[in-house]
Amino acid sequence: MTSISLSQLKHECTKLLSDNLKISSREISLEVNQILLFVLKIDNSQLLLKKTISKAQYEKIKKFVSVRASGKPLAYIFKEWSFYGRSFYINSSMLIPRPETELIIDILKEKNILNDNVELLDLGAGSGSIGISVKLETKNKINLHLSDISKRCVHGIKKNLQKFDIQAKVYLSNWFENIPNIKFDLIISNPPYISYKDPHLNELHFEPKRALVSKNDGLADIHKIIKNSIHYLNRQGLIIIEHGYNQKDEVQEIFNRYNFNQVKSYKDLLGHYRITKGLFS
CA distance 281 to 233: 9
Say if residue 155 is in the same domain as residue 221. Answer: yes
Say if residue 130 is in the same domain as residue 268. Answer: yes
Tell me: pLDDT of 223 over 80: yes
CA distance 248 to 275: 8
Say if residue 168 is in the same domain as residue 55. Answer: no
In a domain, 79, yes or no: no
Average pLDDT, the chain: 95
Domain count, the chain: 2
Say if residue 147 is in the same domain as residue 194. Answer: yes
Say if residue 49 is in the same domain as residue 167. Answer: no
In a domain, 104, yes or no: yes
Say if residue 223 is in the same domain as residue 156. Answer: yes
Say if residue 52 is in the same domain as residue 120. Answer: no
- pLDDT on residue 70: 96
In a domain, 165, yes or no: yes
CATH of the domain at 41: 1.10.8.10
CA distance 224 to 26: 40
3-state secondary structure of 248: helix
| Helix (H), strand (E) at residue 182 | none
Range of 38's domain? 3-71
Residue that is last in its domain, among 38, 71, 104: 71
C-beta of residue 114 within 8 angstroms of C-beta of residue 140: yes
Residue that is last in its domain, among 71, 103, 131: 71
Q: Per-residue pLDDT tens for 68-94?
A: 999 999 999 999 999 999 999 999 999
**pLDDT-based confidence at 239, cuts 50/70/90?**
very high
One-character DSSP codes across 154-219: HHHHHHHHHHTT--EEEEE-STTTT--S--EEEEEE----B-TT-GGGGGGTTS-GGGTB-HHHHT
Please give the model's pTM, rounded to 2 decimal places. 0.94
Say if residue 149 is in the same domain as residue 55. Answer: no
DSSP 8-state assignment for residue 24: -
In a domain, 84, yes or no: no
Say if residue 110 is in the same domain as residue 62. Answer: no
Say if residue 30 is in the same domain as residue 168. Answer: no
CATH of the domain at 226: 3.40.50.150
Tell me: pLDDT of 113 over 80: no
CA 36 to chain CA centroid, Å, is 23
Say if residue 111 is in the same domain as residue 224. Answer: yes
Say if residue 52 is in the same domain as residue 146. Answer: no
- pLDDT on residue 105: 95
| Structure-derived torsion over alpha carbons of residues 170, 171, 172, 175, reported in degrees to the nearest 10 | -120
- Overall average pLDDT of the 5-18 stretch: 96
